[in-house]
């Protein structure tokens, strides 16, 4: 744009107008007074509203309809360490069979379809993960240009091997890849590119980006009914920004699986900071970890769209931590016992499921709802070699000895695997406190209390108690918390 001020401050001031033009959605029409917004109306603005319509669009580019595989050997091993009558059947939805090798093709399919329908010449996505390859793949199929931005390096120019592998994949699909150092320039570059190119913002967090995953949850329920005659007792979902949990849960509900537990699983890297130059390469996972999952759960609107369609707290029944070492161990078990070699990040939910299966009855079904492709940089041996290069100790032992950024403990036995529950009530209270702080909320209305109750999947009594506790702790007046 000729004559535009490209300073950081000026671009950030134009953030709202840039993002509005780049997704073609008037977010203002969903806003309500004070805190709330109409979430279901936002979701209804998806380019396609019904499951059948989404599935039809996805089938045009070979997305969806992935196989469900029972992990018989892994189930048998888990049962050998379970109490009598316990040990659920573990099955996996093999999302690595999608065109670019992950469930992210489901998200990208609707985003790129929407961009094409609205007449955009190309798409931009800021992502260091599988989503970049998914967007690039779908853009190639739909005949659109594609630019992918990655946070790939620390200040010394050292790149995380998994991110570099994903950059290679994006380029293989014909995308232009911008690789940046960790820091605030990623969002600035994204905004500037969107404004300069007038491309579509293929954000992970648009209504279409979440609706595309609903087919995954729907298929999980249908596949279980077909294969076992029953709906799953639990579906374990790798949790990062919230879209995977949200879309899968919504799809399960639309398939009638309202009693199926939705359990989020996330890699515990507490103590490492996502924006830290030092910490950037001291974690072995670029997604599905606590550095994303907790911040996005308590503040979902910290995204590149005005309102995030991914609202994990609305759908989570349970959230658990697993360690990096447990995920690497689960990756090897999947390959050596059931003959399926997949990428470690996609096995976060598998690591949790191995532990959780021991809590369920042996006639229950627990579903791991995704896998991801693996490759040179994504392979767990590459990740562990890189960790050692960063001075991180890797050893066999109890995963309780794992210290993020210092050491990775690989279990010696499946018996040592223990998914650790996160206190969801505390997370819900944190969400309420963060929301009130962001919106500088004055006296709350009945509509505000109801919105917060729905957002946290609780009730107005829980919200009122949380607000009252916050007011007492801060010394705020009744009119302001």
pLDDT in tens, 403-424: 999 999 999 999 999 999 999 9
Say if residue 199 is in the same domain as residue 235. Answer: no
The pLDDT, as a whole number, for residue 181 is 92
Say if residue 347 is in the same domain as residue 285. Answer: yes
Give the phi and the psi of residue 62 in degrees, each rounded to 5.
Answer: 75, 25
Say if residue 256 is in the same domain as residue 296. Answer: yes
188 has a pLDDT exceeding 90: yes
Mapped onto helix, strand or coil, the DSSP state of residue 147 is strand
Q: What share of the chain is helix, strand, coil (3-state, %, to 5)?
A: 50, 15, 35
Q: Which of 353, 379, 391 is nearest to 263 (CA)?
A: 353
Say if residue 121 is in the same domain as residue 252. Answer: no
Share above pLDDT 90 across residues of the chain, in percent, rounded to a whole number: 88
478 has a pLDDT exceeding 50: no
Say if residue 127 is in the same domain as residue 186. Answer: yes
Signed CA dihedral, 150, 154, 160, 164: sign only:
positive
Report d(CA 313, CA 465) in Å as an integer.
18
Say if residue 276 is in the same domain as residue 378. Answer: yes
Instruction: Supply the DSSP symbol for 27.
Output: G
In a domain, residue 56? The reply is no
Say if residue 158 is in the same domain as residue 227. Answer: no
Say if residue 12 is in the same domain as residue 136. Answer: yes
Of the listed ranges 298-307, 427-436, 439-448, the least confidently predicted one is: 439-448
**Segment 436-448 mean pLDDT:** 85
Point out the domain boundary residue: 187, 207, 227: 207
Say if residue 231 is in the same domain as residue 314. Answer: yes
pLDDT tens string 52-73? 999 999 999 999 999 999 999 9
Instruction: Supply the DSSP symbol for 361.
Output: B
pLDDT tens string 269-315? 999 998 899 999 999 988 899 999 999 999 999 889 999 999 999 99
Higher per-residue pLDDT: 123 or 378: 123
479 has a pLDDT exceeding 80: no
Say if residue 442 is in the same domain as residue 354. Answer: no
CATH number for 340: 3.40.50.1100
Share above pLDDT 70 across residues of the chain, in percent, rounded to a whole number: 98
Looking at every residue in the chain, the average pLDDT score rounds to: 94
**Segment 358-378 mean pLDDT:** 95
| Burial letters 410-429, b for 16+ CB under 10 A, else e | bbeebebbbbeebebeebbb
- State how beta strands 89-93 and 261-267 pair: unpaired
In a domain, residue 481? The reply is no
The pLDDT, as a whole number, for residue 133 is 97
Domains of the chain: total = 3
**For the whole prediction, is pTM greater than 0.85?**
yes
Q: Which of 315, 21, 372, 444 is nearest to 195 (CA)?
A: 21
Point out the domain boundary residue: 405, 421, 437: 421
C-beta neighbour count of 91 within 10 angstroms = 26
List the domain range (segments joined by +) for residue 469. Answer: 428-474
459 has a pLDDT exceeding 90: yes
The pLDDT, as a whole number, for residue 2 is 47
Contact 198, 121 (CB under 8 A): yes
Point out the domain boundary residue: 158, 178, 207: 207
DSSP character string of 171-234: HHTT-EEEEEESSTHHHHHHHHHHHHH--EE--TTSHHHHHHHHHHHHHHHHHHHHHHSS--SE
Say if residue 243 is in the same domain as residue 106. Answer: no
In a domain, residue 443? The reply is yes
In a domain, residue 37? The reply is yes
* Edge-to-edge strand ranges of the sheet holding 234-238: 68-70, 89-93, 365-368, 234-238, 261-267, 318-322, 420-421
In a domain, residue 229? The reply is yes
pLDDT tens string 69-113? 999 999 999 999 999 999 999 999 999 999 999 999 999 999 999
In a domain, residue 314? The reply is yes
In a domain, residue 80? The reply is yes
Say if residue 375 is in the same domain as residue 468. Answer: no
Mapped onto helix, strand or coil, the DSSP state of residue 102 is coil
Q: Which of 367, 366, 351 is nearest to 409 (CA)?
A: 351
What count of residues does the chain have? 481
């Amino acid at each position: 744009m000729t004559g535009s001020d490209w300073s950081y401050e000026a671009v950030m001031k134009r953030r709202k107008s840039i993002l509005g033009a780049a997704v073609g959605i008037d977010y203002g029409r969903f806003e309500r007074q004070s805190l709330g917004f109409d979430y279901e109306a936002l979701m209804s603005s998806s380019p396609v509203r019904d499951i059948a319509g989404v599935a039809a669009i996805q089938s045009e580019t070979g997305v969806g309809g992935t196989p469900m595989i029972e992990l018989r050997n892994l189930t048998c091993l888990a049962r050998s360490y379970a109490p009598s009558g316990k040990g659920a059947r573990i099955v996996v939805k093999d999302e690595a069979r999608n065109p670019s090798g992950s469930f992210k093709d489901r998200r990208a399919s609707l985003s790129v379809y929407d961009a094409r329908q609205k007449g955009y010449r190309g798409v931009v996505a800021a992502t260091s993960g599988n989503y970049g390859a998914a967007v690039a793949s779908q853009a190639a199929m739909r005949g659109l240009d594609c630019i992918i931005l990655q946070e790939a390096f620390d200040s010394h120019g050292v790149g995380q091997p998994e991110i570099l592998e994903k950059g290679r994949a994006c380029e293989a699909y014909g995308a232009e890849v911008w690789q940046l150092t960790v820091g605030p320039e990623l969002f600035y570059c994204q905004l500037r590119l969107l404004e300069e190119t007038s491309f579509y913002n293929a954000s992970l967090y648009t209504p279409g980006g979440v609706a595309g995953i609903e087919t995954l949850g729907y298929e999980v329920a249908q596949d279980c009914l077909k294969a076992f005659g029953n709906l799953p007792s639990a579906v374990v979902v790798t949790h990062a920004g919230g879209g995977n949990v949200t879309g899968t849960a919504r799809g399960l509900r639309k398939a009638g699986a309202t009693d199926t537990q939705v359990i989020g699983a996330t890699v515990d890297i507490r103590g490492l900071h996502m924006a830290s130059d030092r910490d950037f390469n001291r974690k072995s996972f670029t997604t599905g970890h606590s550095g994303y999952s907790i911040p996005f759960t308590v503040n979902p609107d910290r995204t590149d769209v005005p309102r995030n369609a991914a609202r994990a707290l609305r759908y989570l029944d349970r959230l658990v931590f697993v360690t990096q070492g447990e995920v690497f161990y689960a990756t090897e078990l999947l390959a050596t016992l059931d003959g399926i070699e997949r990428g470690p990040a996609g096995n976060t939910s598998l690591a949790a499921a191995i532990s959780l299966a021991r809590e369920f009855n042996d006639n229950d079904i627990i579903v791991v709802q995704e896998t991801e492709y693996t490759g040179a940089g994504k392979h767990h041996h590459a990740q562990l070699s890189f960790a050692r290069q960063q001075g991180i100790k890797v050893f066999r032992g109890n995963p309780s000895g794992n210290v993020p950024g210092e050491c990775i403990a690989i279990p010696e036995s499946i018996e040592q695997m223990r998914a650790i529950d996160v206190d969801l009530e505390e997370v819900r209270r944190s969400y309420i406190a963060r929301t009130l702080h962001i919106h500088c909320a004055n006296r709350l209305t009945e509509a505000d209390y109801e919105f917060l109750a729905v957002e946290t999947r609780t009730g107005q009594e829980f919200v009122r108690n949380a607000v009252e506790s916050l007011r007492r702790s801060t010394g705020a007046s009744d009119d302001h918390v």
